[in-house]
């Protein structure tokens, strides 16, 4: 009996998720991003898998529609990688909700993810997950709460240990090389 009830609940959750994901097409089609019913089904199944893997429970609307709205205008997400990008972002989101001990809200985490994905990672999921979010999660676990004042904007720069190339640094390096 319990197994039947669990399967029924999972089926209802999956069908609700599919409907919610398909509804986002009304908004995302202006960015030339549309999910098919099969894509939505795969994303809903992926959601259940990642929730089990990360030992999380979700009530109500899942995070996927919020991920879709947050990332649909990304310069690095195109129709040909849309579904796979959403699957990866969903996995990363749930992993780091756990890693940050639920200290950060869903909206704050999505905002941080989006800012890093566009401005630091330039669409690189591995860098987003393995560097940006990992460093920020370590700070959160250590008690850092300064992100609340900034709304998480510009926070990674405080912890980033990689010196980035900017225009002035590039020109300075070129000048140094020219004088050698």
Task: Tell me the two tokens of residue 26.
Answer: 């009304």
Backbone angles phi, psi at 113, to 5 degrees: -60, -45
C-alpha separations of 107 from 42, 69, 111, 112, 140 in Å = 24, 11, 6, 9, 15
Give the per-residue pLDDT at 166. 64
pTM here is 0.82
- Identify the domain containing residue 39 by its residue range: 1-77
The mean pLDDT value for 120-147 works out to 93
Same domain, 58 and 129: no
Does the pLDDT at position 165 exceed 60? no
The 8-class DSSP code of residue 63 comes to S
The pLDDT score that the predictor gives to residue 151 is 81
Q: How many domains does the structure of the chain reveal?
A: 2
Task: Check whether residue 1 and residue 58 sit in a common domain.
Answer: yes
Distance CA 104, CA 107 (A): 8
């Amino acid at each position: 009996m319990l197994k039947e009830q669990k399967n029924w609940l999972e089926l209802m959750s999956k069908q609700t998720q599919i409907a919610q994901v398909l509804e986002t097409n009304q908004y995302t089609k202006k960015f030339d991003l549309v999910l098919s019913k099969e894509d939505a089904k795969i994303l809903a199944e992926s959601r259940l898998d990642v929730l089990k893997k990360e030992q999380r429970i979700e009530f109500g609307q899942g995070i996927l529609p919020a991920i879709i709205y947050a990332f649909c205008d990304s310069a690095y997400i195109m129709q040909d990688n849309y579904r796979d990008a959403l699957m990866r972002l969903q996995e990363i989101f749930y992993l780091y909700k756990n890693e940050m001990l639920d200290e950060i809200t869903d909206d704050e985490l999505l905002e941080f993810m989006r800012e890093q994905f566009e401005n630091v990672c330039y669409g690189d999921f591995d860098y987003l997950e393995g560097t940006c979010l990992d460093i920020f999660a370590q700070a959160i676990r250590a008690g850092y709460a300064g992100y609340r004042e900034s709304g998480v904007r510009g926070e990674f720069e405080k912890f980033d240990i990689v010196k980035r190339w900017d225009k002035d640094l590039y020109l300075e390096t070129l000048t140094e090389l020219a004088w050698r």
